[in-house]
Amino acid sequence: MPTIPSLRSRVAAFTLVEVILVLALLVLITSVLLPAAGSLLRGSRGEAAEETVLAVLQDARRQAVLSGREVALRYAPAEHALVWTDGVHDGRRVLEDAAVAVEFLRPSAGAILLGGQLVETDPVDEMTFYADGSCDMIRLQLRAADAAPRVIPIDPWTCAPVLAPPAA
């Protein structure tokens, strides 16, 4: 006489509902994390270009102080490099990220709204570093092809970025 299998002798397995529920949760988590990961990667690329530009500012300032002469720094878009010279010695640093362009802006530069992004309209060709360690009052604008332009004010006494006040 055939016996009915007891609950203990059944094979343990997941039901179809449990499998579908787990897959749905994985899709939901992926859809939330994927855009955040993309923006994080784009942000780190822009930050690397910013760090390179700020390092070049300090190199040009150091050359001005050590040589005792004015140093002119400009961005060469054809070479995608920052170039500085004191008339005797030259320096050059190629930016690794070809998607980022650098502009020097006057403090009272105008701006227009273009395609939903605020774009500075009054760039200058170069900035000058002086033998006393100071530099022109300037703002740097870093423009990436896939992100809004980032404007960094530069302190004329230290030639370093102006620190933003803490958020309240």
Distance from C-alpha of 10 to C-alpha of 16, rounded to nearest angstrom:
17
Which of 65, 71, 74, 76 is CA-nearest to residue 87?
Answer: 71
Q: Which CATH architecture has domain 16-154?
A: 3-Layer(bab) Sandwich (3.55)
In the chain, where the domains are located: 16-154
- Is residue 129 very low, low, confident or very high in pLDDT (cuts 50, 70, 90)? very high
Provide the pLDDT for residue 114: 56
Provide the pLDDT for residue 168: 57
Residue 41's H or E segment, with its range, is helix 16-67
Provide the pLDDT for residue 108: 61
Distance from C-alpha of 6 to C-alpha of 152, rounded to nearest angstrom:
73
Whole-number CA gyration radius for the chain: 28
Contacts of 118 (CB under 8 A, 6+ apart): 111, 112, 148, 149
Burial of 56-86, coded b for 16+ CB within 10 Å and e otherwise, reads bbebbbebbbeeebebbbbbeeeebbbbbbb
Mean pLDDT score of the chain: 79
pLDDT digits (tens, 9 = 90+) for 75-116: 988 888 889 888 888 888 888 877 788 888 876 655 565 555
Of all residues in the chain, what percent carry a pLDDT higher than 90?
A: 19
Tell me if residue 61 falls in helix, strand or coil: helix
Provide the pLDDT for residue 78: 85
- Is residue 72 very low, low, confident or very high in pLDDT (cuts 50, 70, 90)? very high
Which of 54, 55, 42 is CA-nearest to residue 148?
Answer: 42
Model pTM greater than 0.75? Answer: no
Average pLDDT over residues 159-168: 74
Which of 109, 125, 120 is CA-nearest to residue 72?
Answer: 125
